[in-house]
Structure 1
Amino acid sequence: MADKTQEPGGIHFPFPFTPYPIQKDFMAALYQVLEAGKIGIFESPTGTGKSLSLICGALSWLRDFEQKKRQEEARLLEAEATAAPLSNGKDPLLLPLASQGTLGPPKDPAEPDWVTQFVQKKEERDLVDRLKEEQVRRRKREERLQQIRHNAQLKYAAKRMRQEDEETERLLDLSREMLAAGSEPEQLASEEEELVLAEYESDEEKRKASGADEDEDDLEEEHVTKIYYCSRTHSQLAQFVHEVQRSPFGKDTRLVSLGSRQNLCVNDDVRKLGSVQLINDRCVDMQRSRRGKKSIAEEAKPRRRKQEQRTACPFYSHERLQLLRDEVLVGAKDIEQLVALGKEARACPYYGSRFAIPAAQLVVLPYQMVLHAATRQAAGIRLQGQVVLVDEAHNLMDTITGMHSVEVSGSQLCQAHSQLLQYMERYGKRLKAKNLMYIKQILYLLEKFVAVLGGNVKQNPNTQSLSQAGTELKTINDFLFQSQIDNINLFKVEVFIRLPARPGCPQVPSAFLRLSSAQSPRDTGLLTVKSNDGG
Structure 2
Amino acid sequence: MTSQLRINGIDVSFPFEPYPCQVEYMRKVLQALQTGQNALLESPTGTGKSLSLLCAALAWQAAMKARQQAFNAQASSAGGEKNSAAVELIAELERGFAESGGAWDPVRGAPRIIYASRTHSQLSQAMHELKRTVYTNHKVAIIGSRDQLCINEDVQQLESNAAKMVNCKVRVETRSCQYYLQYDLLRPKNDKDSAPAPLLSNKIMDIEDLVDYGKRTKCCPYFMSRDQKESADIIFMPYNYLLDPKVRYRNKVDLEGNVVILDEAHNIEQVCEDGASVELSSVDLAQCIFEIDAAVSGLMKKITADQQASSLSLEDLSGAEAQESLDFTVSDLFALKGQLLALEKAIDSIPLGSGDSAGPGFTKPGAYVLELLAQADITAPRVAHMLDRLDKILAFMSSTQGRLFRGTGLSRLSEFIAGVFPQSSYCDPAVSSASGSSSSSSGSSTQRRRGLPSSSSGLAQCYKLHIREVSGGHYGRSGATSAPAATVGFDTDASAAASSGPAGSGKPYRLLSYWCFSPAKAMLNLAAHGVRSIILTSGTLYPMEALRQDLQLPFPIELSNPHVIDRDQIITAVVPRGPNSVRLSSGYENRDSLDYQRALGECVASLCGCVPHGLLVFFPSYSLMSRCLDAWRSSRLFDRISSRKPVFVEPRRKAEFATAFADYYKRVCDPQYAGAIFLAVCRGKVSEGLDFADHFGRAVVVTGLPYPMWTDPRVRLKQAWLDEQRLATGRGLTGKQWYKQQAYRAVNQAIGRVLRHRNDYGAVLLCDERFATEESRRQLPAWLQHSVTVAKTFESVPDRLREFFASNSVKYPTRMGRKCACRPSNSRCSSTASRRPRLSSAPPQLTS
Q: Same fold (TM over 0.5)?
A: yes
How much does 1:323 deviate? 5.5
Instruction: Say if 2:298 is the partner of 1:286.
Output: no
Equivalent residue for 1:316, pick from 183, 194, 200: 183
Matches of 2:107 and 2:187, distance apart in 1: 36
Structure 1: gaps (5+ residues): 98-223, 291-308, 455-465, 519-526
Q: How far 1:485 sits from its partner (Å)?
A: 1.8
Q: Distance in 1 between matches of 2:283 and 2:35?
A: 54
Q: 1:79 aligns to what SS in structure 2?
A: coil
After TM superposition, the structure 1 = structure 2 runs for residues 523-534 of structure 1, keeping only pairs within 5 Å, are 529-530=503-504, 533=508
Aligned pairs for 1:29-428 within 5 A:
29-79=28-78, 92-96=104-108, 225-250=111-136, 252-273=137-158, 275-290=160-175, 313-320=180-187, 322=194, 324=196, 327=199, 329-414=201-286, 416-417=288-289
Q: 1:445 aligns with which of 340, 343, 352?
A: 343
Q: Which amino acid aligns with 2:184?
A: S
Do structure 1's residue 6 and structure 2's residue 6 form an aligned pair?
yes
Give the SS at the match of 2:254. Answer: coil
How far did 1:347 drift? 1.9
Shift in alpha-carbon separation, 1:96–1:451, aligned structure 2, 3 A: farther
* Greater per-residue helix proportion: 1
Counterpart CA distance in 1 for 2:408 and 2:161 is 18
**Distance (whole Å) between structure 2 residues aligned to residue 93 and residue 317 of structure 1:** 38
Shift of 1:316: 3.2
SS in 2 for 1:350: helix
After superposition, the C-alpha distances for 1:34-77 in whole angstroms (9 at most, x for unaligned) are 01111111111221110011011101111111111111111111
Q: For residue 450 of structure 1, what is the amino acid of its counterpart?
A: D
CA contact (8 A) 1:5 1:12 kept: yes
Q: 1:144 matched to which residue of 2?
A: none
Cα distance between partner residues in 2 of 1:337 and 1:425: 43
Structure-1 separation of matches of 2:211 and 2:298 = 45
Partner Cα separation in structure 2 for residue 530 and residue 343 of structure 1: 35
SS at match of 2:230: coil
d(CA) in 2 for partners of 1:480, 1:472: 15
Shift, 1:310, TM fit: 9.4
Question: Could you list the per-position Cα deviations for residues 216-257 of structure 1 after superposition, in whole angstroms to 9, with x for gaps in the alignment?
Answer: xxxxxxxx631110000010000000010112223x121111
Which segment drifts farther, 431-440 or 28-37?
Answer: 431-440
Question: What is residue 473 of structure 1 aligned with on the other side?
Answer: 363
1:81–1:352 distance in 2 versus 1, CA, 3 Å: farther
Deviation at 1:470, TM superposition (A): 0.7
| Inter-partner Cα distance in structure 2 for 1:473 and 1:342 | 49
Return closer, same or farther for 1:314/1:513 CA change in 2, 3 Å cut-off.
closer
Distance 1:261 1:513, change over 3 A: closer
Distance 2:368 2:393 in 1: 38
Task: Please state whether the residue corresponding to 1:330 is helix, strand or coil.
Answer: coil
CA-CA distance at 1:373 after TM superposition? 2.7
**Mapped contact 2:140–2:233 kept (Cα < 8 A):** yes
Aligned to 1:485: 375
Higher strand proportion:
2
Match of 1:138 in 2: none
Given the superposition, is the C-alpha separation of residues 531 and 21 from structure 1 closer, same or farther in structure 2, using an over 3 Å criterion? farther
For 1:6 and 1:350, how far apart are their aligned partners in 2?
A: 39
Cα-to-partner distance string for 1:145-184 (whole Å, 9 max, x where unaligned):
xxxxxxxxxxxxxxxxxxxxxxxxxxxxxxxxxxxxxxxx
**Letter of the structure 2 residue corresponding to residue 489 of structure 1:** T
Deviation at 1:16, TM superposition (A): 0.9
Confirm or deny: 8 A CA contact 1:256 1:329 kept in the other structure.
Answer: no
Match of 2:392 among 486, 493, 501: 501
Gaps of 5+ in 2: 84-89, 91-102, 189-193, 301-313, 319-328, 410-500, 511-848
Counterpart residue number, 1:26 = 25
Q: Which has the higher contact order (CA 8 A, sep 6+)?
A: 2
> Is the 8 Å Cα contact of residues 328 and 353 (structure 1) preserved in structure 2?
no
Displacement of 1:315 in angstroms is 3.2
CA distances 1:276-302 after superposition (whole Å, capped 9, x unpaired): 233212210011113xxxxxxxxxxxx
1:424 deviates by 7.2
Measured on the aligned residues, the alpha-carbon RMSD in Å equals 4.1
Contact 1:287-1:312 at 8 Å conserved across structures? no
Verify the 8 A CA contact 1:52 1:244 in the aligned structure 2.
yes
Question: How far has the Cα of 1:336 moved from its partner?
Answer: 0.5
Q: Which amino acid aligns with 1:316?
A: Y
Residue pair 2:58, 2:135 contacting (<8 A) in 1 also: yes
Query: Closer, same or farther in 2 for the Cα pair 1:363/1:312, shift >3 Å?
Result: closer
Look up the SS of the partner of 1:92 in the other structure.
coil
Decide whether aligned partners of structure 1 residues 6 and 354 sit closer, same or farther in structure 2, where only a CA change above 3 A counts.
Answer: same
Question: Quick check: 366-375 or 400-409, which moved more?
Answer: 400-409
Q: 1:484 to 1:285 in 2, by over 3 A?
A: closer
Residues 516 and 376 from structure 1, CA distance in 2 versus in 1: closer, same or farther, beyond 3 angstroms?
closer
How far is 1:359 from its partner? 1.7
Match of 1:225, SS state, is coil
User: Offset at 1:28?
Assistant: 1.0
Measured at CA, do residues 359 and 329 of structure 1 come closer, stay the same or move farther in structure 2, by a change above 3 Å?
A: farther
**TM-score w.r.t. length of structure 2:** 0.38
Question: What SS does the corresponding residue of 1:93 show, helix, strand or coil?
Answer: coil
- % identical equivalent positions: 28
Give, in whole Å, the separation in 1 of the partners of 2:259 and 2:43: 20
The structure number with the bigger radius of gyration is: 1
Contact kept in structure 2, 1:328 and 1:338, CA below 8 Å: no
Give 1:501 shift. Answer: 2.5
In the TM superposition, residue 498 of structure 1 has moved relative to its aligned partner by 4.3
Question: Could you list the per-position Cα deviations for residues 80-139 of structure 1 after superposition, in whole angstroms to 9, with x for gaps in the alignment?
Answer: 56799xx9xxx8334548xxxxxxxxxxxxxxxxxxxxxxxxxxxxxxxxxxxxxxxxxx
SS of the counterpart of 2:278? coil
State which drifts further: 343-352 or 20-29: 343-352
Matched AA of 1:336 = E
The answer to which of 477-486 and 501-510 deviates more is: 501-510
**Aligned with 1:407: secondary structure?**
strand
Residues 482 and 355 (structure 1), Cα distance of their counterparts in 2 relative to 1, 3 Å cut: closer
Whole-Å Cα distance in 2 between the matches of residues 76 and 399 of structure 1?
45
- Shift in alpha-carbon separation, 1:326–1:440, aligned structure 2, 3 A: same
What is the distance in 2 between the residues matched to 1:311 and 1:342? Answer: 11
TM-aligned CA deviation for residue 477 of structure 1:
4.0
State the one-letter code of the partner of 2:262. Answer: V
Deviations 1:486-530 (A, max 9, x none): 865255256424432289944799999958999xxxxxxxx9643
CA distance in 2, matches of 1:316, 1:396: 36
